[in-house]
Amino acid sequence: MIPLYLASGSPRRRELLTQIGVPFTTVSAPIDETPRPGEGAAEYVERLARAKAAAGLAQVSGPGVVLGADTAVVLDGRILGKPQDREHALAMLAELSNREHQVLTAVALSDGQRCLSACVASNVRMRAIGAQEAERYWATGEPLDKAGGYAIQGLGAVFVTSLVGSYSAVVGLPLSETADLLAQFAIACWQQHEDSAPR
């Protein structure tokens, strides 16, 4: 089977791929993540996912498939990136408080011959977040490297009252769509589990 490479430093994406039993090797894929003028959020995350896959492919010698992904939190059409500092994080949490926002995650797979991608949109609603509560959350250190300043799979889960869409996509990798894309490159899920299954 052709080897799979994950072009991401995200521990969440590593955990999610491992969860569905797909072996992979991590490669570095630094790219410029600056949005282009007039670029929509869906176009932005899909472009970045494809760029990460291409950058990862450049690190690979020999045949292989590279997976790139990108996630954006979107409020009123604006992309909320990762907070730059405490004030930025608290301002983001105040904006997300008692409102619904969208999380877009794109995944792209490339083998150098073709690049296939998908973008998944999910709607997340948060309860009211008080200023002192936001301060306490910031003090945990969790918001610092998270899009939108929170982690649904972590301590930030207490703020989320509803999710319509893909939970795994909000975490960082839409597993159903990823499995479909992997299948198009003849990469099967559950490999690590099938090895240990009783005969």
Tell me which residues are annotated as active site. Answer: 70
Residue 120 is which amino acid?
Answer: V
How distant is the alpha carbon of residue 79 from its chain centre? Answer: 14
Query: How many whole angstroms separate alpha carbon 144 and alpha carbon 85?
Result: 7
DSSP H helix total and E strand total for the chain: 7, 7
Please state whether beta strands 4-6 and 78-80 pair in parallel, antiparallel, or not at all (unpaired): unpaired
Residue 174 near residue 168, CB atoms below 8 Å: yes
What is the number of other CB atoms lying within 10 angstroms of the CB of residue 28? 11
Residues 6+ apart with CB under 8 A from 64: 2, 3, 4, 5, 57, 111
